[in-house]
Amino acid sequence: MALNVISNFAANVAHRNLSESDMELTESLAKLSSGTRVVSAKDDAASMAIGSRLMSEVVALRQAQVNAGQAVSMLQVADGAMSRTHDILMRMKALSVQAGSGQLSGTERGMLDTEYQALVSEIDRLAADTEFNGSQVVNGAIGVDRSSATAFEVADGVQDIVFKGDHATSGDATIAYAASGSFSVTVGSDVFTGSIASNTNDGSAMSTGTVVTLSNSGSTNTIDLVLNTAYDVDLTKGNGTLDLSGSSTTTFTYKVGTGTSPTADEIAVTLNSVSASALGLSSTNVTSKTQSDAASVAISVAVDTLNDARANLGAAQNRLEFAAANIATTLENTEAARSNLLDLDIASEMSQFTSKQILVQAGVAMLAQANQSPQVLLQLLQ
């Protein structure tokens, strides 16, 4: 190769190699700083695609694990209520047997019946008051058809009407609204009333809506009106009727999978009501020997009914716990697969980084040497 001062081939070669080494050093730094082997799709397009899919499954499985845990907690709340109801039934059984004995007078049986009726009321209160995240779990469910109450539709700002407790379901309930911001719902002979906190608490002042609870002083039952941000306190709302349909069971569906197969990813659990009427005890008393004997038989049946409900609940709880254990195993293995595809081997990459760092330093030194080489030709000009 001719010696010249116009073109410095050695410097060009050194510069090209230095640029490549610097680019590889930068990529290595990016991987080390991010902790991932695939910083962009050009690093490994296939691994990025598969890893992203696996990551979505990992995220879904983590939430499914939380769902399963909350479902178990919900069933534990229900089981706790059933356990207390069982204790109450044991006391009621003792009272019925005591009242059925011939040495007691009517006055004494009346005293026993006072406690007996209080315990019946406590069963109803316990059933209505046992909730998980606002949902009643051992009081059955009441469906509401408000097609005859057109002024109380979602478009009018009334998102939902929820009957809580052992309400009568025969016939229609009537709903009425007063301009002062108060509501009243009549179910049978019971009138439930309630009002919003302020007349200005309408859609313009709401961020997420509000709940108005209607109550009756002589009942543990309540009614919740769920208002959304479309609610207008000044809008005229006519009276209407509500068609109620009751059930002694409530079904909850828990999502315990990634959502790719809705049927296989869900576990449905049906919880039985443990109210006095559901257990067949609402009309029992111990005011006479005959009534006491009848109450004793009814309580025995109620105990069997309650035990069946608890057995179903326990089976569902065990199933959810096995599902949670399976989710944990699946999550562990899926995370391992994702890690193999995307996570960086720090030790290996650090070796690569050190190698590239040395090459960059050597490239800088050689480029400096190449730039100095043409100066030797100046000696020929002297």
Would you state the pLDDT for residue 51? 81
Tell whether 313 and 326 lie within a shared domain: yes
Tell whether 150 and 242 lie within a shared domain: yes
Number of domains in the chain: 3
Task: Please give the residue range of the domain that contains residue 189.
Answer: 141-247
Would you state the pLDDT for residue 5? 66
Tell whether 167 and 114 lie within a shared domain: no
SS3 for 344?
Answer: coil
pTM value is 0.68
Report yes or no: 224 and 164 within 8 Å, Cβ to Cβ: yes
Q: 243: burial class by Cβ within 10 Å (0-12, 13-18, 19+)?
A: middle
Tell whether 278 and 292 lie within a shared domain: yes
The secondary structure element, H or E, covering residue 136 is strand 135-136
Kindly state whether residue 254 falls inside one of the protein's structural domains.
no
Kindly state whether residue 232 falls inside one of the protein's structural domains.
yes
Residue 70's region, left for phi above 0, alpha for psi from -120 to 50, else beta, is: alpha
Kindly state whether residue 115 falls inside one of the protein's structural domains.
yes
Per-residue model confidence as pLDDT tens for the chain (382 residues): 566 666 777 778 888 888 888 787 877 777 777 777 777 777 778 877 888 888 888 888 999 999 999 999 999 999 999 999 999 999 999 999 999 998 888 899 999 999 999 999 899 889 888 888 878 899 888 888 887 777 788 888 888 888 877 777 777 788 888 766 788 898 888 899 988 876 666 666 777 778 888 998 887 788 888 888 888 877 777 788 888 887 788 888 899 888 777 677 889 998 998 988 889 898 899 999 999 999 999 999 999 999 999 999 999 999 999 999 999 999 999 888 888 887 777 787 788 778 888 888 888 888 888 777 777 777 776 6
Beta strands in 165-275 (DSSP E): 172-178, 182-187, 190-195, 210-215, 222-227, 240-247, 249-255, 266-272
Query: Cα separation of 250 and 275, whole Å?
Result: 13
Kindly state whether residue 259 falls inside one of the protein's structural domains.
no
Kindly state whether residue 334 falls inside one of the protein's structural domains.
yes
Would you state the pLDDT for residue 382? 65
Would you state the pLDDT for residue 201? 65
Tell whether 184 and 123 lie within a shared domain: no
Kindly state whether residue 262 falls inside one of the protein's structural domains.
no
Tell whether 239 and 160 lie within a shared domain: yes
Query: Cα separation of 189 and 143, whole Å?
Result: 19
Tell whether 30 and 45 lie within a shared domain: no
| Residue 279's CATH number | 1.20.1330.10
Kindly state whether residue 260 falls inside one of the protein's structural domains.
no
Would you state the pLDDT for residue 4? 66
Would you state the pLDDT for residue 3? 64
Q: 104: burial class by Cβ within 10 Å (0-12, 13-18, 19+)?
A: middle
Please give the C-alpha separations between residue 353 and each of 24, 281, 358, 369, in angstroms, as whole numbers.
8, 78, 9, 24
Kindly state whether residue 253 falls inside one of the protein's structural domains.
no
